[in-house]
């Protein structure tokens, strides 16, 4: 009984010694055939850098600006079409903003929580107009912003390095394209000339 116990203990020590000499994480522990690079899995633990990070940092204040401009248009717009579109901006961009915040939380990214200076200037300028002048100015701004949105989200949906950032852009893109079609149609109906 004692001898079998000693042999078992000796076997355990030999096994532990072999593991210590060649731990599973060491390069020699993996056969050469299994050493090919594996793509990282995106479970919120991957660091977002470069263009993906820049996109997130632009998308957050950009979406916030469209929500705030929508609120202003609901108050100061003179037509039901403008007010209805503005309400749609509040709902859709708020929803996208929440999805982006959740993505940022998973990726440990601190998003900007305020408007960019350019958007603040646009808000200030529009707040000083009313009636048909407001409607036309708002429509022009929405065309410009959504053309930029669609271009940015399209690029990220195709080329992002981070799979989760890519998925967010791809999921949000159809809504932005719909917004752009809607605002182009509104601009045409209102006779608003916009640069494309």
Residue 140 and residue 192 in contact, taking contact as beta carbons nearer than 8 Å = yes
Q: What is the pLDDT of residue 175?
A: 98
CA 187 to chain centre: 28
> What is the pTM (predicted TM-score) of this model?
0.75
User: How do residues 94-104 score in pLDDT, each as one tens digit?
Assistant: 999 999 999 99
* Range with the poorest average pLDDT among 11-25, 122-136, 181-195: 11-25
- pLDDT of 11 > 70? The answer is no
Closest C-alpha among 60, 82, 97, 91 to residue 142: 82
- pLDDT of 90 > 90? The answer is yes
Residue 35: pLDDT band (50, 70, 90) is very low
The length of the chain in residues reads 196
CATH topology of domain 50-190: Ferritin (1.20.1260)
Residue 152 and residue 59 in contact, taking contact as beta carbons nearer than 8 Å = yes
Q: HSE-up of 140 (CA within 13 Å, CB side)?
A: 14
* Range with the poorest average pLDDT among 36-40, 47-51, 138-142, 181-185: 36-40
For the segment 17-32, the average pLDDT, to the nearest whole number, is 44
Q: What is the pLDDT of residue 13?
A: 38
Domain positions in the chain are 50-190
Closest C-alpha among 106, 113, 111 to residue 47: 106
């Amino acid at each position: 009984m004692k001898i079998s116990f000693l042999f078992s203990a000796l076997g355990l020590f030999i096994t532990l010694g072999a593991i210590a000499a060649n731990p599973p994480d060491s390069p020699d522990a993996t056969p050469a055939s299994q050493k090919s690079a594996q793509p990282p899995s995106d479970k919120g633990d991957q660091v977002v850098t470069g263009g993906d990070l820049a996109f997130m940092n632009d998308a957050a204040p950009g979406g916030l600006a469209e929500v705030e401009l929508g609120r202003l248009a609901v108050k100061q717009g003179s037509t039901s079409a403008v007010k209805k579109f503005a309400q749609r901006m509040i709902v859709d961009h708020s929803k996208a903003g929440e999805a982006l915040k959740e993505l940022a939380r998973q990726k440990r990214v601190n998003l900007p929580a305020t408007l960019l200076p350019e958007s603040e200037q646009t808000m200030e300028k529009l707040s000083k107009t009313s009636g048909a002048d407001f409607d036309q100015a708002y429509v022009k701004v929405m065309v410009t912003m959504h053309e930029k949105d669609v271009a940015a989200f399209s690029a990220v949906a195709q080329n992002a390095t981070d799979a989760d950032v890519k998925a967010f852009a791809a999921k949000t893109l159809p809504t932005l394209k719909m917004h752009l079609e809607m605002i182009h149609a509104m601009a045409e109906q209102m006779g608003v000339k916009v640069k494309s």
